[in-house]
A and B are shown apart, each in its own frame.
Chain A
Amino acid sequence: MTPAEEAVLSTLTGEDAVRSRDRFRVHDARRRGSRWYLLWLLVGPGILVMLGENDGPSMISYAASGATYGFGFFLPFVLITFVMAIITQEMVMRVGAVTHRGYGQLVLERFGRVWGWFAAGDLLFTNLVTLIAEFVAIRIGLAYFHLGAPVAVALGLVLVLFTLSGGRYWRWERIVLGLAIFNGLFLVAAIMTGADWGSVGHAIYTFGPFPGGSVKTLLLLIASTIGATVTPWMVFFQQSASADKGLTPADLKHGRYDTVAGGVLAAIFGCGALIAGAALAGHGGANIQGLAGAGFPGALAHISGHAVAIVFALGLIEAGAVAILTISASTGYAVAECVGAAHSFNNRPSAAAAFYVGNAGVAVIAAAIILIPGVPLLSIVLNANVLATVLLPVTLVFVILLANDRELMGRWVNSGLTNVVAIVIVAVICASGAAYGIDSFLQTVHVIS
Chain B
Amino acid sequence: MSEQEELEELIEYLERDQLVADRSVPVPPARLSRPAAIGLWALRVFAIILSAMVIYVFIAQL
Query: Which residues on A are within 8 Å of B, measured CB to CB?
Result: 1, 5, 8-9, 11-13, 15-17, 19-21, 23-24, 26-27, 99-101, 106, 109-112, 115, 118, 243, 246, 248, 340, 342, 376, 379-380, 383, 386-387, 390-391, 393-394, 397, 401, 405, 407-408, 434, 437-438, 440-441, 444
Contact = CB atoms under 8 A, between A and B. Distances in A.
Centre residue among A16, A24, A383, A440 by max chain B CB count within 10 A = A16
A411 B61 CA distance: 50
Interface string B1-43: 0001001101101111111111110111110000010011001
A17 B10 contact: yes
A8 B11 contact: yes
A441 B56 contact: yes
Contact of A20 (B14, B22, B40): B14
Interface string B40-61: 1001001100110111111011
Contact of B29 (A11, A109, A379, A383): A109
B27 A408 contact: yes
Interface residues of B, number: 39
Q: Which 4 pairs, one residue from A and one from B, show the smallest C-beta to C-beta distance? A: A11-B21, A441-B53, A20-B10, A23-B13
Nearest to B29: A110
A110 B32 CA distance: 10
Given A24-B10, A27-B13, A111-B40, A441 B57 contact: yes
A407 B32 CA distance: 12
Centre residue among B11, B14, B22, B40 by max chain A CB count within 10 A = B14
A340 B57 contact: no
Contacts of A441: 53-54, 56-57
Given A8-B16, A26-B13, 17 more contacts: A11-B19, A12-B20, A19-B18, A100-B15, A100-B23, A101-B27, A109-B26, A109-B29, A110-B29, A110-B30, A383-B58, A391-B50, A393-B47, A394-B46, A407-B28, A441-B54, A441-B56
Contacts of A21: 10
Contact of B19 (A8, A24, A376): A8
Contacts of A20: 10-11, 13-14
A437 B18 CA distance: 40
B17 A100 contact: yes
B20 A386 contact: no
A224 B2 CA distance: 58
Contacts of B14: 16, 19-20, 23, 246
A9 B18 contact: no
B50 A437 contact: yes
A213 B4 CA distance: 71
Contacts of A243: 23
Given A383-B57, A444-B56, A391 B10 contact: no
25 contacts: A11-B20, A11-B21, A12-B11, A12-B21, A16-B20, A23-B13, A26-B13, A100-B17, A100-B22, A101-B27, A109-B27, A110-B29, A111-B40, A243-B23, A380-B58, A383-B61, A390-B47, A390-B51, A391-B47, A394-B43, A401-B36, A407-B28, A440-B54, A441-B54, A444-B61
A383 B19 contact: no
A27 B13 CA distance: 7
Contacts of A1: 8
Nearest to A343: B23
Contacts of B57: 383, 386, 440-441, 444
Contacts of B39: 397
A379 B30 CA distance: 39
Contacts of B8: 1, 5, 9
A67 B26 CA distance: 51
Contacts of A407: 27-28, 30
A353 B55 CA distance: 32
Contacts of B21: 8, 11-13
A17 B7 contact: yes
A342 B20 CA distance: 8
